[in-house]
A and B are shown apart, each in its own frame.
Chain A
Amino acid sequence: MAILSLALKSLFNRRYTAGLILISIALSVSLLLAVERLRVESRNSFAHTISGTDLVVGARSGSINLLLYSIFRIGDATNNISWKSYKKFAEHDLVKWTIPISLGDSHKGYRVMGTNQDYFRYYKYGNKNSLAFNQGQPFEQVYHAVLGQEVARELGYQVGEKIIIAHGAGKTSFTMHDDKPFEVVGILEPTGTPVDRTVHVPLEGIEAIHKDWIGGRQVAGLKISAEEALEKNLTPKAITAFLVGLKSKIATFRVQREINDYRKEPLLAILPGVALQQLWDMMGVAENALLVVTVLVVFVGLIGMLTVMLAGLNERRREMAILRSVGARPAHILLLVTGESLLLSLIGIALGLLLLYSGLLLGQPVIESRYGLHLPIGIPSMREWIILGLVGTSSLIIGLIPGYRAYRYSLSDGMSMRI
């Protein structure tokens, strides 16, 4: 105890240098913890991009490809599913609900998804959260649209706005469905999922704007106005994919097999949880790289501490000699110098935690509203404690380096005043 109070006073005596070391350790520790927390939470949130859905069904391709285009709106479907096949499984005895998805068009770079009202009723994300409306309500008519939160925010849209859908998925599409504008009737709450970046329209709307299109081109001379289109049969002939909710989870594999073995059309049914996990594992490299970088930042902070402690040691040889003359043993000197490093890093860790929590308190509402990512402000998790413990242990080991040098000095110098 006597030695630790000496160490504290000695540090206070060098409070400016010590303060700088503290800042660098505190910053690096809070950065490490923040990255860890973001990593865990984004992984959680990613794994919960979609929940409550038992199967995702599309044309036969790879499971990750299907997941990417149906849930993440990345890439394109290789093929469509016929309405007849969809209907067959939608009316299956074990199926509770289905959500049809029709993709292929876009609005200013955001994907347009055709679906029906069951989407707002059954689609769940995160911890079984349903979609909620920030403004307006679900679409009711053919030319209605519901916007994801990011679409509305980035493009500055309000309910009542008329939007024009472009053919194809590119950001700068030259072919517009400008004869059939859609009216924004609802804007969703942020979800932190690809829903935020989606324009939702009724399946009939998708069908209507393509009534005078054949094979991806507008047929010259064949002009069907918006009103005329409403008179036609707007039941789609094909959709891109559909989501399935079952009456009982136990039936999942049975229905999956049935879909995969369906003879009339090559279909693929996947379990979204499994595919999400596969996808995340593919991105694990980037995640680990980020973690490695922050670990290195902490390491740099500790090396900074080592540098300062070592640099100061030579001018402290007189202090060591005085301490030796009043009865300090070499072990005391080791304890004093190592204790200083340990105190610095412990205070640094405490400050880092303080920084993390104040950052979380300040940033949580912003991150939640902009990215839909909920960062909990709980006590550190087991993993985080382990990380903090590792930082503490490494600082102890690093602190032993100047401690040992001071110990060697005090053995060789004894009480002689070399400086």
Chain B
Amino acid sequence: MPQTAAILLKDLRFGWRKNLPEVLHIADLEVPRGERIFIGGASGSGKSTLLALLAGVNLPTQGEVRVLGEAINRLSGARRDHFRSDHIGFVFQLFNLIPYLSVLENVTLPCRFSHLRRQKAIEAGGDLQTEAMRLLTHLDMAHESLIHRPVTELSVGQQQRVATARALIGAPEIIIADEPTSALDSDMRQAFLRLLFQECDDTGSTLLFVSHDRQLASLFERHIALDEINQADQEGQ
């Protein structure tokens, strides 16, 4: 059986309401598994909308969203939630962590909601704690002084690394990173990206990296400018 693409969009259209103009129209986009792809675009170009569609939080008004071969726009809401928690790990721009949980609890959080990722994490590390510590070690976050600190006292860079460990635990097939570096200074940005790439390579995850910072694009195997492939704007004008 040939490997299905990580992501396949066909004639995707999305508008917030029926009588409002479309904000997103992507005729065709395919992301093979294991690829690291940079999706650039100015704010307002529909990046967040695209991510919400890929995550199955929003549904397209037309067309198909296939993630790992599954047409997620045809799944029920609960199944989409399930699918997301099993197969997609997220890292956001800022404040990614639950303030009342410890570093380790934050990292293992997806395993509370996804059986699959829990099993995979236990297979990989023996138990959840060990696997979480292994990921934190890779991300240079396993110091005793750091993991016992309340997450609200960590620096932004440290918080992003904890969030990355959380996205990676249980080896989801797809990692979606939404401007994860925008709050970091440029040295930190490079270091963070290197760690992220390495971890995605280790787990074989596909990385979707969304950012308005085009300087980073060169570090990726492939980059797409959302403004260029999104036909909704041209049609609207």
Give residues in A with beta carbon < 8 Å to B.
2, 6, 9-10, 12-13, 318-319, 322-332, 414-417
Residues of chain B within 8 A (CB-CB) of A9 are 100-101, 105
Give residues in B with beta carbon < 8 Å to A.
48, 51-52, 55, 57-58, 77-78, 81-82, 84-86, 90, 92-101, 105, 109-110, 112-114, 166
Interface contact B81-A415, CB-CB below 8 Å: no
Q: CA of A158 to CA of B58 in the docked complex: distance in angstroms?
A: 87
B171 to chain A, nearest CB (A): 14
Given contacts A329-B82, A330-B77, 14 further A-B contacts (CB under 8 A): A9-B100, A9-B101, A13-B100, A319-B99, A323-B98, A323-B109, A325-B92, A326-B110, A327-B82, A327-B114, A329-B78, A332-B113, A415-B57, A416-B52
Residues of chain A within 8 A (CB-CB) of B97 are 322
A350 to chain B, nearest CB (A): 22
Residues of chain A within 8 A (CB-CB) of B84 are 327
Find the B residue at minimum CB distance from A414.
B57
Interface contact B113-A327, CB-CB below 8 Å: yes
A243 to chain B, nearest CB (A): 69
Interface contact A416-B48, CB-CB below 8 Å: yes
Residues of chain B within 8 A (CB-CB) of A329 are 77-78, 81-82, 113
B164 to chain A, nearest CB (A): 13
Interface contact A325-B90, CB-CB below 8 Å: yes
The 6 closest A-B pairs by CB, nearest first: A327-B85, A13-B100, A327-B113, A414-B57, A2-B112, A325-B90
Interface contact A414-B58, CB-CB below 8 Å: yes
Find the B residue at minimum CB distance from A3.
B112
Interface contact A326-B166, CB-CB below 8 Å: yes
A195 to chain B, nearest CB (A): 61
A199 to chain B, nearest CB (A): 67
Interface contact B99-A327, CB-CB below 8 Å: no
Q: CA of A417 to CA of B95 in the docked complex: distance in angstroms?
A: 9
Q: CA of A109 to CA of B125 in the docked complex: distance in angstroms?
A: 86
* Among candidates A2, A10, A318, A327, residue contacting B100 with C-beta atoms closer than 8 Å: A10
* Among candidates B57, B58, B98, B114, residue contacting A322 with C-beta atoms closer than 8 Å: B98
Interface contact B95-A318, CB-CB below 8 Å: yes
